[in-house]
């Protein structure tokens, strides 16, 4: 008896679910009429780079894709889907020993129509040849290395990158120091750097020190420190920098390492004694607030987050991101937004949301992102150049928020090499063809 | 005595099976089978050391030496012939492990684990700070060639898969021989009671030294095959997290048979692929839970499941 009555009560919700499913069926059928554009989204979802980079980019992709499918983005992106084709995101973790095999799996098993993402240069270097081999539209959203199109894939067809490479950050930083901090430049004779001991740190320091030495004569390198990534303790390095008495100290630290450097360096007077230049520090502003000493030069790897220009798209992006995730978007989120919007812009231009149409139309395209214009100008229209901006930190005691002042924006053409030169040749040759007006 | 034992026959039969899989499975899965063979060899190296009670937390060292030999041979000397690369890798590995063996053979337990880890991390640090070798970004490898033959595209990957399968199984057979041989027996005795081994007239130090060099060599072969398949090397190969993964595989798979680490690697890879698919944010938790369950319920690894299954079969047969 009990069993029967039990079954009776259980079948009621079952029946109502069935009825509900039947009622919903027509709408789901409608959505399936046109096959969706399957978009693989790859970023660090675990490990040390997930907090500062991976998760913000994943969130931005989720937010933008949802808005694209609902058609809630501001103009010119206010149409639904990639030219009407709905986008179905598929998230994957970049933290993997077999990043190439995972890429092949996304293409061959999940049969994605396009892939967007990748934070680390190491991953980008590894997958770049695979992209051309498997012939799948792939838009790299971040990874800083200039090698991708300069050395590895010299004739790209399927591979794009919607972000400038890291050379830009450091050329702009050097220009800002030399041209906009007169009191520092007057006595500038020695520079020093503290960067992490991996590609990003080495490349950043190489570009920054070379640029400064081109922009101002007789500048010596007083000291260069390359502590281990995720070290967290920089006592010895800070001592070395303090005794080196450099006029400018450059750092491309990010995430937790950056926060540790700021707290430990400010505590020991490093920031007061020298002009600090932090090229990737917008992510630290809302976390550290008043702990960042005023006067520190802050970079955001482009005209992103605090440096994003006023526009309807940017206002929407900041607000929507804040409403959904409780924080304002940082530069990795902007870069991902740029990459996804580039695909949409290309599809809308073609009028069809297919992989082929996006490949054909993204090439050489110039479109608007939340951080300003993205111009696919280099590498035969596959590598973006974007503008950048630098400013000086000022903590606003009234609002309790960190701000930047003396903001200088740089045009993409001013801080990126022309199409026919590699970054190193361009810097060493004295920035030939730089258009900074 | 028969020339091949049961395990060796199975390894021989595995070759045609792998070749059938190459054509039967979808390409993405073949990729994972292929990388699993390269990594499986390193796991096998960890496994044979575990037989002697030695846990190597730095097997990534030789995995990385193999990979970087392949990379540097093609980068600096323009050599893409896989046989030449393998010979160079083996020579380098034998030299390095031969020298390091004099130090490491004197240590056991946690001291051995920590020293192997330390040596591996030295290579990691050196490669990370060498700008010519692409620092932590590493660099890419060309497609392999075979004694002057340069197959491209699909043919190239097919040939590399078959060669990888042949070499992996050949290594596994040789390792099985080694484990059945005198030193193989001695290393198990070392795990049980090293002092007695010495009293019986065998040298524990020499046996561990030989064992260490053999483990290093197959790890380097694994490194060459793995990096040729993926076309990219990074210092991450020598990082302790990579080495830890090999230890993980052996604990998951068990040390019962040379097959166990090879199959274990593939199971772990496939498990990881599906864990990422099911839960991209917390896939490590799934792997961790599987690890815990294995340790609690199958202390001798997944291989013990298979052994139990075989035992039950053979006990039923005479009755039927």
ipTM score: 0.76
Question: Could you tell me the residue range of the domain that residue B307 belongs to?
Answer: 6-316
Question: Could you tell me the residue range of the domain that residue A414 belongs to?
Answer: 167-302+388-428
Question: Do residues A157 and A173 share a domain?
Answer: no
Question: Do residues A271 and A409 share a domain?
Answer: yes
* Residue A325 touches chain B, beta carbons under 8 Å: no
Question: Do residues A198 and A218 share a domain?
Answer: yes
* CA–CA gap between residue A336 and residue A333 (Å, rounded): 5
Residue A376 placed within a domain: yes
Residue A363 placed within a domain: yes
Specify the pLDDT at position B198.
85
Question: Do residues A244 and A295 share a domain?
Answer: yes
Tokens 């009990």 belong to residue: A2
Whether residue A199 and residue B134 make contact (CB cut-off 8 A), yes or no, is yes
% of chain A with per-residue pLDDT over 70: 92
Whether residue B135 and residue A145 make contact (CB cut-off 8 A), yes or no, is no
Strands (E), B15-158: 139-140
Question: Do residues A158 and A172 share a domain?
Answer: no
Specify the pLDDT at position A145.
79
Question: Do residues A415 and A405 share a domain?
Answer: yes
List, for residues A378-398, the tens digit of each pLDDT value. Answer: 888 999 888 899 999 999 888
Residue A17 placed within a domain: no
pLDDT higher at B131 or A411: A411
Residue A10 placed within a domain: no
Specify the pLDDT at position B11.
85
CATH classification of the domain holding A418? 3.40.50.2300
Question: Do residues A206 and A172 share a domain?
Answer: yes
Mean pLDDT value across chain B: 87
CA-CA-CA-CA torsion sign (A373, A347, A100, B78) = negative
pLDDT higher at B39 or B132: B39
Specify the pLDDT at position A14.
47
Domain count, chain A: 2
Question: Do residues A324 and A206 share a domain?
Answer: no
Whether residue A96 and residue B272 make contact (CB cut-off 8 A), yes or no, is yes
Specify the pLDDT at position B316.
66
Q: Is the pLDDT of residue A21 over 60?
A: no
Q: Is the pLDDT of residue A347 over 50?
A: yes
Question: Do residues A288 and A354 share a domain?
Answer: no
Q: Which residues of B touch A166 (CB under 8 A)?
A: none
Q: Which residues of B touch A125 (CB under 8 A)?
A: 134, 137-140, 232
Residue B308 placed within a domain: yes
Measuring CA to CA, how many Å separate A81 from each of A38, A158, A180, B188, B192?
Answer: 12, 21, 44, 64, 66
Specify the pLDDT at position A4.
41
Mean pLDDT value across chain A: 85
* CA–CA gap between residue B317 and residue B305 (Å, rounded): 19
Q: Which helix (H) or strand (E) holds A248?
A: strand A248-251
Specify the pLDDT at position A25.
45
pTM to 2 decimals?
Answer: 0.81
% of chain B with per-residue pLDDT over 70: 98
* Residue A225 touches chain B, beta carbons under 8 Å: no
Question: Do residues A179 and A158 share a domain?
Answer: no
* CA–CA gap between residue A381 and residue A374 (Å, rounded): 11
Specify the pLDDT at position B252.
86
Name the residue of chain B whose CA is nearest to A41's CA: B280
Residue B127 placed within a domain: yes
Domain count, chain B: 1
Residue B35 placed within a domain: yes
Residue B1 placed within a domain: no
Residue B248 placed within a domain: yes
Question: Do residues A37 and A153 share a domain?
Answer: yes
Residue A22 placed within a domain: no
* CA–CA gap between residue A242 and residue A277 (Å, rounded): 15
* Residue B140 touches chain A, beta carbons under 8 Å: yes
Residue A435 placed within a domain: no
CB A279 within 8 A of CB A222: no
List, for residues A208-231, the tens digit of each pLDDT value. Answer: 999 999 998 888 898 999 888 888
Whether residue B231 and residue A197 make contact (CB cut-off 8 A), yes or no, is no
* Residue B130 touches chain A, beta carbons under 8 Å: no
Q: Which residues of A touch B134 (CB under 8 A)?
A: 125, 147, 199
A205's torsion region: left (phi>0), alpha (psi -120 to 50) or beta? Answer: alpha
Average pLDDT on B293-308 reads: 84
Q: Is the pLDDT of residue B37 over 80?
A: yes
Q: Which helix (H) or strand (E) holds A297?
A: strand A297-299
Whether residue A45 and residue B232 make contact (CB cut-off 8 A), yes or no, is no
Specify the pLDDT at position A217.
85
Residue A239 placed within a domain: yes
Whether residue B283 and residue A109 make contact (CB cut-off 8 A), yes or no, is no
Question: Do residues A107 and A134 share a domain?
Answer: yes
Whether residue A226 and residue B129 make contact (CB cut-off 8 A), yes or no, is yes
Q: Which helix (H) or strand (E) holds B210?
A: helix B204-230
Q: Is the pLDDT of residue A284 over 90?
A: no
* Residue A316 touches chain B, beta carbons under 8 Å: no
Residue A412 placed within a domain: yes
Whether residue A122 and residue B27 make contact (CB cut-off 8 A), yes or no, is no
């Amino acid at each position: 008896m009990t069993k029967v009555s039990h079954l009776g009560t259980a079948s009621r919700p079952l029946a109502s679910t069935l009825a509900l499913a039947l009622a919903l069926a027509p709408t789901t059928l409608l959505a399936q009429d046109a096959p969706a554009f399957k978009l693989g989204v790859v970023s660090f979802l675990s490990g040390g780079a997930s907090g500062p980079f991976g998760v913000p980019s994943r969130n931005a992709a989720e937010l933008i894709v949802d808005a694209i499918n609902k058609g809630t983005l501001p103009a010119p992106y206010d149409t639904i889907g990639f030219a009407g084709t709905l986008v179905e995101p598929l998230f994957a973790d970049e933290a993997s020993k077999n990043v190439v095999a995972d890429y092949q799996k996304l293409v061959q098993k999940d049969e994605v129509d396009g892939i967007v993402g990748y934070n680390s240069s190491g991953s980008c270097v590894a997958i770049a040849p695979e992209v051309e081999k498997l012939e799948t539209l792939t838009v790299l959203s971040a990874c800083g290395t200039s090698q991708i199109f300069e050395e590895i894939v010299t004739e790209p067809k399927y591979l794009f990158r919607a972000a400038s490479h890291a050379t830009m950050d450091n050329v702009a930083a050097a220009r800002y120091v030399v041209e906009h901090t007169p009191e520092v430049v007057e006595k500038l004779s020695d520079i020093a750097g503290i960067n992490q001991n991996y590609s990003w740190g080495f490349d950043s320091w190489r570009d920054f020190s070379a640029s400064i030495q081109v922009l101002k004569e007789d500048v010596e390198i007083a000291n260069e420190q390359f502590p281990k990534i995720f070290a967290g303790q920089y006592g010895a390095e800070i001592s070395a920098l303090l005794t080196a008495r450099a006029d400018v100290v450059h750092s491309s630290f990010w995430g937790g390492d950056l926060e540790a450097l700021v707290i430990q360096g400010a505590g020991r007077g490093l920031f007061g004694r020298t002009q600090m230049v932090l090229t990737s520090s917008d992510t630290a502003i809302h976390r550290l607030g008043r702990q960042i000493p005023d006067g520190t030069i802050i970079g955001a790897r482009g005209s992103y987050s605090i440096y994003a220009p006023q526009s309807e798209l940017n206002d929407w992006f900041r607000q929507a991101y804040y409403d959904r995730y409780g924080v304002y978007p940082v530069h990795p989120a902007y870069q991902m937004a740029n990459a996804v919007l580039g695909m949409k812009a290309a599809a809308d231009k073609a009028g069809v949301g297919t992989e082929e149409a996006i490949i054909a139309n993204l090439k050489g395209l110039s479109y608007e992102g939340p951080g300003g214009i993205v111009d696919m100008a280099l590498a035969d229209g596959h590598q973006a150049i974007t503008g950048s901006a630098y400013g000086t930190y000022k903590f606003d005691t009234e609002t309790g928020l960190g701000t930047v002042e003396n903001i200088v924006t740089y045009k993409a053409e001013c801080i990126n090499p022309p199409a026919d030169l590699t970054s190193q040749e361009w810097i060493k040759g004295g920035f030939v063809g730089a258009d900074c007006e | 005595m028969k020339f091949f034992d049961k395990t060796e026959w199975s390894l021989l039969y595995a070759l045609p099976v792998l070749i059938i899989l190459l054509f039967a499975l979808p390409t993405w899965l073949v990729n994972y089978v292929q990388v699993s063979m390269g990594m499986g060899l390193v796991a096998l190296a960890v496994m044979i050391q575990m037989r002697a009670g030695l846990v190597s937390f730095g097997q990534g060292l030789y995995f990385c030496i193999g990979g970087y030999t392949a990379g540097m041979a093609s980068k600096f000397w323009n050599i893409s012939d896989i046989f030449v690369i393998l010979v160079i890798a083996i020579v380098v590995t034998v030299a390095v492990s031969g020298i390091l063996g004099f130090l490491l053979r004197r240590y056991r337990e946690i001291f051995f684990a920590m020293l192997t880890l330390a040596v591996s991390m030295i290579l990691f640090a050196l490669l990370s700070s060498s700008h010519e070798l692409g620092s932590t970004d590493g660099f890419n490898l060309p497609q392999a060639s075979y004694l002057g033959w340069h197959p491209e595209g699909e043919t190239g990957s097919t040939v590399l898969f078959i060669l990888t399968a042949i070499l992996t199984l050949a290594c596994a057979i040789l390792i099985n021989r080694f484990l059945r041989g005198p030193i193989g027996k001695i290393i198990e005795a070392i795990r049980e009671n090293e002092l007695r081994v010495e009293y019986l007239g065998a040298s524990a130090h020499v046996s561990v030294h030989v064992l260490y060099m053999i483990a290093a060599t197959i790890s380097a072969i694994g490194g060459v095959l793995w990096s040729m398949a993926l076309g990219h090397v990074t210092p991450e190969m020598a990082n302790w997290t990579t080495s830890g993964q090999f230890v993980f595989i052996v604990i998951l798979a068990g040390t019962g048979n040379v097959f166990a680490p090879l199959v274990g690697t593939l199971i772990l890879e496939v498990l990881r692929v599906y864990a990422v698919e099911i839960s991209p944010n917390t896939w490590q938790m799934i792997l961790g839970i599987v690890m815990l369950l294995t340790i609690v319920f199958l202390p001798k690894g997944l291989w013990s499941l298979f052994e139990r299954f075989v035992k039950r079969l053979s006990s039923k047969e005479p009755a039927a």
